[in-house]
């Protein structure tokens, strides 16, 4: 019996993938200003990385104006943004690829300069991010995190509705599905974890209550798309943005078991060794593997991400720990990554200094294998 590999086909919801090299959602901060709509440069970037039957998960996109924590990220709540994303989707589909959109609200990982009316960022509870961690203002200046304002119950329902509306907007833009961002210390994970959720109402206290927000959002998005076009991303042992549960297993076992019967397109884990990797080179040693821990209790397609090489990705799939592997940083610098991994071609190193903001440099100017390296 041949074991599955990175280049075995895979069914993800209604999408028949030709290979299992997934492009991870990657914040690049290159949306048009001030509309925060994707622009032609963004469509070119995604089209460069699209392959026939390949899956791209597009970058995290706030579901409402109060959901931002970085300048220049694209949203999915206005007509201009829907139109901009439509151009991206069309470019990927023209290459035969599939593309899902990641739906996002950063919660307390924000600053009042991003918030309508200059109000404080919102969170499940008024618990600030650790003082030693810094953020940036809307004009890109360094700043300290502020103490967020705890959401009222009626506002929680409003954010669930914003996710539903954003899911509908993603459908209008032509996406093949959506992914709910429940990882990396953003709003959904702030509700999940006991250190950031001190609520005493139906959204706090017990694990079931803390998971309620995620489950309500997931059900709302399923109501738009159907479960087989919805994915959820989690980071059980992550530490990004001052996140982290003292004992993650009871919480995330409950969450995975609650999501299991819904029939989702996939569950997407960030491996703990790469939590926080967007800000610095990170390789947390002696940490558990999310895919190994949760594969036995997840019945559907499992995607995982976090510092994989072609060799370790193939091993994870062959051993049954994951069904597909999402690549981030090396997909930035290798637009033809699936081909390079299949053929064993060398990889172009990425330039961290060009990850966020800017124009073509470090975005659309990385060469295909065999092309002249950029000067």
Q: Which residues are catalytic?
A: 186
210, 194 Cβ separation under 8 angstroms = yes
Reference 96, options 176, 173, 27; nearest CA is: 176
Angstrom distance (rounded) from CA 272 to CA 283:
8
75, 65 Cβ separation under 8 angstroms = yes
CA angle 60, 110, 325 (to 5 degrees): 30
109, 243 Cβ separation under 8 angstroms = no
């Amino acid at each position: 019996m041949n074991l599955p590999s990175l280049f075995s086909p895979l069914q993800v919801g209604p999408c028949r993938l030709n290979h299992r090299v997934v492009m991870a959602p990657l914040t690049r901060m290159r949306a048009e200003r001030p509309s925060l709509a994707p622009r032609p440069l963004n469509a070119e970037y995604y089209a460069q990385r699209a392959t026939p039957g390949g899956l791209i998960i597009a970058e995290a996109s706030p579901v409402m104006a109060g959901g931002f924590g970085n300048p220049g990220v694209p949203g999915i709540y206005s007509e201009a943004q829907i139109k901009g994303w439509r151009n991206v989707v069309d470019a990927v589909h023209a290459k035969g690829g599939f593309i899902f959109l990641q739906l996002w609200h950063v919660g307390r990982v924000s600053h009042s300069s991003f918030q309508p009316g200059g109000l404080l960022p919102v969170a499940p509870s008024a618990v600030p991010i650790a003082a030693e961690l810094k953020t940036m203002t809307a004009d890109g200046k360094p700043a300290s995190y502020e103490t967020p304002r705890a959401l009222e119950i009626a506002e929680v329902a409003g954010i669930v509705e914003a996710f539903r509306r954003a899911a509908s907007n993603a459908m209008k833009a032509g996406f093949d599905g959506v992914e709910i961002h429940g990882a990396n210390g953003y709003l959904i994970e702030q509700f999940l974890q006991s250190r950031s959720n001190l609520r005493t109402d139906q959204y706090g206290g017990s694990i079931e209550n803390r998971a309620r927000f995620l489950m309500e959002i997931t059900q709302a998005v399923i109501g738009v798309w159907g479960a087989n076009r919805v994915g959820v991303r989690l980071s059980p042992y992550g530490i990004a943005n001052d996140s982290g549960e003292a004992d993650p297993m009871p919480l995330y076992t409950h969450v995975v078991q609650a999501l299991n019967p819904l029939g989702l397109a996939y569950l997407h884990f960030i491996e703990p060794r790469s939590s926080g990797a967007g800000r610095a080179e990170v390789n947390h040693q002696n940490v558990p593997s999310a895919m190994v821990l949760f594969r036995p209790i997840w019945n559907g397609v499992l995607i995982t991400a976090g510092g994989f090489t072609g060799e370790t990705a193939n091993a994870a799939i062959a051993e049954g720990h994951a069904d597909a592997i999402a690549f981030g940083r090396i997909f930035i610098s290798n637009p033809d990554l699936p081909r390079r991994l299949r053929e064993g071609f060398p990889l172009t190193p990425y330039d961290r200094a060009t990850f966020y903001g800017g124009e073509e440099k470090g975005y659309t100017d990385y060469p295909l294998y065999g092309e002249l390296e950029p000067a």
